[in-house]
Structure 1
Amino acid sequence: MNKALTAICIFLVILSGFLWVKVTNLENQVRDLQDPSLYETMTLMQSVVHKISYAVDNENVELLNFYIHELEEAAEELVEADLVYHDQPVGQLTETMLEPTIKDLEDAVESGDWDRVMDRNMVMIQACNNCHSSTGYPAIQVTEKGEVNPFNQDFSIQE
């Protein structure tokens, strides 16, 4: 009876160790799935920044408020995930370098001073490029907008 009990205890210890490894692996996989994809998030952010520039050109406050909100949400995902990419603290850099410029742009839009809005938009774009440079990706340079609107969207104010 003692040998059977000992064998059962050994089996349960081995089984619990195996289950612990499985649970840990599943937890890691779930965490990885919950972290935002840096490429997808940055692509979204670049597109939104581009659209912001067209909305600025058209002095369209409604669109600006919408896209600034979308940009804030995308940035917040990186910050909340405390995302690290190739040993670079992308989440922390987003919080310190980009988020203040988004807030400044938002404040400029509220002021109604379109020269200030244009300036704050360029400062925000430069913050993106400064971050890319500081993380070893200087080849990624975000621009204000292209000569031709590539979006299937009218950025003028709708009456």
Structure 2
Amino acid sequence: MLVPILTLVLGITIGVLVIVWLEREISAGIQQRIGPEYVGPLGILQALADGTKLLLKENPIPSTGDTRLFSIGTSITVISIFLSYSVIPFSDHLVLADLSIGVFLWIAISSIAPVGLLMSGYGSNNKYSFLGGLRVAAQSISYEIPLSLCVLSISLRVIW
């Protein structure tokens, strides 16, 4: 069961890296400049180098804030997003959790993420991060309501 899921995740990751590479190459061609060419063959690994630099350059936990609240908020966000994948069927025989209330559980679990985002913004003890957390939480909630209505209407149509 683990191999198809890892294959799917690896395929999506490689697809994203290729799309980012194509975007950089096309943008460089339009702007008449040299695109990514030094990291890997033809600059294919530039996105991985940028991500590694982003992770290692700065401390991800703020030094002047409430580190426990910040860490708990970040954990809540990441865990709720990963748990929401547990009810998605990847194929006929590949379902991590076969529940009769899968759609409702998916909506409920994904609705927890804005709380974690807000906790992380508040725990950083920075007014701009807090305002960013408020904005992201409001944006997530505003997208969840139409998404939930669409998913529930499709579920009702399938049932009847």
User: Is TM (by shorter chain) over 0.5?
Assistant: no
**TM-score category by the smaller chain?**
0.3 to 0.5
Structure number with greater Rg is 1
TM-score by length of 1: 0.36
